Amino acid sequence: MCVSAGPAHFSDTILYHGRRRHPEHGLVHVLGYQNVAVNRATGPNAMLLHLPGTGMTQDNFVDTSGARHILTDMTAALTPRSVGYGAAPGGMVDRAAPPPVQVFEHDIYTVVLAADATLITDALALVPEHRRVAANPALFAFYARVYPGHAVALCCFDNRDAARSDPLLLWYTPSRPDRAELPAIDCHTGAIPEIGAPVPVDHWVILGTDEPVPGAPGWETAPTDWSEDVRDGPAGPFLPEWIAGRTYTGLHPNGDFTIACADLEAGRLEAMSRVGPEGQRLTQWRL
């Protein structure tokens, strides 16, 4: 579950989406992502993530250096048993429009965050040489064309750092607040992803909420139990009180995951869909 700028292998993927009432920002959506990366390119490489949010800046990237195990702790909590549980409503806050492209350091990555993916090519000159990937205008144009209105984060890393990142945790004001949307298209060669084509999947998908949500067949649910250090750290206000999750394996159509927040609140977790860029359901394979 990831698109890379060059050849790479990703395993042990955890994909997380949460709805969280933040004390400063109100109700926000939170994306979490972690994997083990093996860079098969001869030089630097990068992950591309399309983000269904607006007005994003460096401040939307949460420092997880003191909470390195938050996503693996979620999978551990979900593995033993099912409990049953839900979500919260609320409003968003207005934010000033950010620059259309930003370049900054975050953990092992130099991040190019762009409101339009076609802006990435020129911004690569600002990435340190040891992490600078070759421009891929065709891939960037693909994202601009099929994900208009999405921010795109190019997370550049070098060979030495490929496998030792902290989990990525991003908060944002969602473009569609009534849905949980999890970017999950796959292509690990640097080529343009083929939406709807069968791809092998082997990862966790986790949903987080502030309140209990009813359980559902095939899903595990659990309360969270964060340590005091994690709760009091930068990631704490963005972490859920309850989680529901499951693993996905086998062949699935190449696309993203989505579920209506109303279905999540009601425990209709089987409504999780694999979708294309326009939200159309990809039904060739069962979820």
Partner residues linked to 224 by β-bridges: none
The span from the CA of 281 to the CA of 274, in Å, is 6
The span from the CA of 115 to the CA of 150, in Å, is 7
Reported pTM = 0.88
Closest CA to 14 of 33, 36, 39, 42: 33
Closest CA to 195 of 179, 208, 184: 184
The span from the CA of 189 to the CA of 34, in Å, is 19
Give, for all 287 residues of the chain, the pLDDT tens digit: 689 998 888 888 999 999 999 999 999 999 999 988 778 888 899 999 999 888 899 999 999 999 999 999 999 999 854 333 233 333 333 445 688 999 999 988 999 999 999 999 999 999 999 999 999 999 999 999 999 989 999 999 887 666 667 899 999 989 889 999 999 999 988 899 999 999 988 889 999 999 888 888 899 999 999 999 999 999 999 999 999 999 998 888 999 999 999 999 899 999 999 998 877 777 644 33
Q: What is the pLDDT of residue 280?
A: 74
Strand arrangement, sheet containing 179-182: 179-182, 256-260, 273-275
Residue pLDDT, tens place only, 213-263: 888 889 999 999 999 999 999 999 999 999 999 999 888 899 999 999 999
